[in-house]
A and B are shown apart, each in its own frame.
Chain A
Amino acid sequence: MTTITHVDNAEPTAFTQDDLGWLPWLEPFPAEQLTERHWAGLVDASRSKSDYFMLLARDPDILQFRTKTDKDIFYNTKSGLPRAERELAAAATSRFNGCIFCASVHARFATQFSKRRDDVQRLLDEGVGAKIDTRWDAVIAASVALTETPVAFGDEQIDALREAGLDDREIVDVINGSAFFNWANRLMLSLGEPAPPEKG
């Protein structure tokens, strides 16, 4: 068995909000062999078009539960942190770990929900030390401290989040959002590579 290499791929070398592609280093699960258990793992049928999800479909159960964890952390807006700031936590975590692909997706979402494209771009260009405003800086600093190994998240970050006006429910959303991207970044970074946006 061997891995797949993409010698012709011009891998992006900077963080961007562009719509990047992703190329797998291992063979995705063959579409014609998908069983009911695999479809359950994919959760949304449309994900069978994605090499990333089709590769993860090789272990369908953990894929299913991972996807459902993800959706509730980011899409359940009945209470807690606004979507824009959950996406900011995801983008900051990805920026700090160095996942250019993940950062591109979640920087785009952060822009979409906050309408603050330039501020989001500063996080990508300047890195996690960028000074944006009290609230965003607190969310970024908390995501970074939680992403360090060993985890460095504690009173300093929590006090800053509280001073920025976040309550415990919102702080737990920051924790969940950043923690989840420590899961996602490692899969995206280690099973394939980003590719430039498709033309046209």
Chain B
Amino acid sequence: MSTPAPDVIDILADIQPGSHLDEVRALRPEARDNAQKSYRALFEPENPDGVTTAERHAVATFVAGLHRQPTVTAFYAAGLRKHAQPAQVEAIEGEISRGAVHGPYGKFPSGPLSREDKEGLIFKVSDEHRAVLGPRLSAAFEHAHLLVFRPRDASPQALQKLLDAGWSTDDIVTLSQLVSFLAFQIRVIAGLRALAKNSERRVARESSLTAALASGGNL
């Protein structure tokens, strides 16, 4: 049983049908199929319920941007433009450049691991962009930044901020799944791209070696 729509990971990792990595991915058919179904459940839900399609794409664009994955960011930004005003898209781009740091960092529960605590940015949406994005989406961005870069700093207080900004318990589960799914999807794409590039280089090296041997070159 195949998924009717094109597979998003294959598109964004540039995996062509019949290619070597296409065959490797086919060894985990359920993982491939359900990663795609996860994408559709989050971005093309039968019933978007509490979290709007615009909010889903806005958060996804922000999260992909924080990961500095241009292809993935462009993909979710294209979805966002169908649902959002240009001023909002611009505000999100501005927040990506303000929030793009290096992770993971954060604090461990106080004790022997405290020596591994790592300081870093506690991200807040700028006042200027908060006015464009609104309090609900701004709260989602601040939480998404925590999940992307310093998940070990999570706390009931962080969830309370979402509740206070109008996110229901169900909405928070959806938002958490969406950001966490993207952390997975982006890494599968980046990993497969790196592997494809590495394999190409290896094949090129081996064929130039073969050519050198064939031409009687001295190695």
Contact = CB atoms under 8 A, between A and B. Distances in A.
Interface stretch (B126-134, B150-158, B208-216): B150-158
Contacts of A31: none
B8 interface: no
Interface string A59-96: 10111011011011100101110000000000000001
A13 B180 CA distance: 24
A189 B154 contact: yes
Contact of B198 (A59, A159, A183): A159
A119 interface: no
Contacts of B29: 72
Contacts of B106: 98
Residue from B147, B159, B173, B198 having most chain A Cβ neighbours under 10 A: B173
Interface in B161-219: 163, 168-170, 172-174, 176-177, 179-181, 183-188, 190-192, 194-195, 197-199, 201
A10 B113 CA distance: 15
B111 interface: yes
Interface string A166-199: 0011011001101110111111011100000000
Nearest to B188: A179
Interface residues of B, number: 73
Given A69-B31, A179-B188, A158 B104 contact: no
Interface residues of A, number: 66
Nearest to A191: B176
A56 interface: yes
Given A148-B102, A151-B190, A25 B27 contact: no
A96 B158 CA distance: 21
A169 B109 contact: no
A143 B154 CA distance: 22
A187 B180 contact: yes
B34 interface: yes
A176 B172 CA distance: 25
A153 B194 CA distance: 7
B98 interface: no
Nearest to B100: A150
A56 B173 contact: yes
Interface of A: 1-5, 11-15, 25-27, 55-56, 58-59, 61-63, 65-66, 68-69, 71-73, 76, 78-80, 96-100, 127, 146-151, 153-155, 158-159, 168-169, 171-172, 175-176, 178-180, 182-187, 189-191
Interface of B: 20-21, 24-25, 27-31, 33-35, 37-38, 41-42, 45-46, 66-69, 102-104, 106, 108-113, 116, 146-149, 151-152, 154-160, 163, 168-170, 172-174, 176-177, 179-181, 183-188, 190-192, 194-195, 197-199, 201
13 contacts: A2-B163, A3-B159, A3-B160, A61-B41, A65-B35, A97-B152, A98-B104, A100-B109, A155-B194, A179-B184, A187-B177, A190-B146, A190-B154
